[in-house]
Amino acid sequence: MVLENLHLLHFKNYEEATLPFSTHINCFIGDNGSGKTNLLDAIHYLSLTKSAFTGTDLQNIKDGEDYFIVRGRFVSNEKVSAVQCYLKAGQKKIITLNKTPYERVSEHVGQFPVVLISPYDTDLIREGSEDRRKFFDSLMAQLDHSYLDLLIQYNYVLKQRNSLLKQFAEKNYIDKEYLQILDEQLMPLGTELSIRRASFLETFEPVFQRHYQHLSGSSELVTLGYQSQLIRQNYAYLLDQSQRKDLLLQRTTVGPHKDDFVFLMAEKSVKNYGSQGQQKSYVIALKLAQFEVLAQKNDNKPLLLLDDIFDRLDEKRITHLMQLVANNTFGQIFLTDTHLDRTDKILQPLSNNIRRFRISEGKAETIEDEEL
């Protein structure tokens, strides 16, 4: 799969930009804060209909404007797909494929897979369980649309239940029959979510372990664990036992929205016992495993986005990633860097198909060969 071009209008710090891409390696070169990462995020948005870095869609609209457009053309197995994402403040987001809008935005997810490796990836280890759930949920959603539908349904009923719990507190009245109706809707959805997460991890873990060993050159055992309240108790029992607590706290305190994925090395927490280097190897191995399973499922290599890796990774890990580039493990690559000479020194031996863009204050210009 290849992204032929990208067009932006009022997206983040870009007034307007059009970029034609190489089918192999594309480099965004510029100072920090110039807008390099925003281009990667635009590609991420085009693929997954959401930003990798901002919490709400409105944060992606350029200051002083009330809408943004991200547009691009994908080519896969000679099939051309024109995708556009449009958002206007106060209105519903519209995603179109070949000028036809989706009835549901979620229908787009998984059609154009993408993997992002960024300096913030170690947050998967250092931050709370929500970040880890988002990583695995996003991966599973790209692999299997029925999982995404299940997750959407669960979150919808969960939101209804939490809203009802707040109403009970405000009105000082409890309608247990209505609460039971929502519980009966939530139970099968939550149970299925936990079952499918546990099943997926069994197949994903060996792929992850192999990448970690190759990346680190170490025989140390790394594992992925899954913690769910539903493993030992059925959801009906848990909801019944937690009802009093839920009413008091005005939110649902049990269920797969509380699950966690545990990152271990030699049966110890990577967060507490892993060195910085081990933590970096761990998350890169997670991303490389993500890339592999997406490529296998779709029989098509995802887009690979590399954000400031030459600044943030040591020579050993950069060398490993570049070896994978040289071996054609990856397909189309987009990367950011602050130094053109460093980028060229690393990449030129690997490919003759490289396009470079100079990024400055929300503007992108192609760097011609004679400028190098």
Distance CA 172, CA 80 (A): 57
Q: Judge whether 55 is annotated as a binding position.
A: no
Q: Which residues of 285-308 are buried (b: 16+ CB within 10 A; e: fewer)?
A: bbbbbbbbbbbeebeebbbbbbbb
Q: Judge whether 35 is annotated as a binding position.
A: yes
Q: Judge whether 12 is annotated as a binding position.
A: no
Helix, strand, coil percentages in the chain from 3-state DSSP, rounded to 5:
50, 25, 25
Q: Judge whether 362 is annotated as a binding position.
A: no
CA-closest candidate to residue 257, choices 238, 276, 274, 244? 238
Q: Judge whether 122 is annotated as a binding position.
A: no
Three-class DSSP category at 175: coil
Please name the residues in contact with 47: beta carbons below 8 A apart, sequence gap of 6 or more: 112, 113, 114, 303
For residue 87, the number of C-alpha atoms closer than 13 Å in the C-beta half-sphere is: 24
Structure-token pair, residue 283: 């998350």
Nearest 5°: the CA angle 301, 302, 305 is 130
Partners of 269 in beta bridges: 264
What's the chain's length in residues? Answer: 372
Distance CA 28, CA 350 (A): 17
Q: Judge whether 219 is annotated as a binding position.
A: no
Partners of 268 in beta bridges: 265
Q: Judge whether 274 is annotated as a binding position.
A: no
Residue 303 φ/ψ, nearest 5 degrees: -70, 140
Q: How far is CA 351 from the centre of its chain?
A: 27
Q: How far is CA 170 from the centre of its chain?
A: 37
Binding-site sequence positions: 30-37
- Residues annotated in a binding site for ATP: 30-37
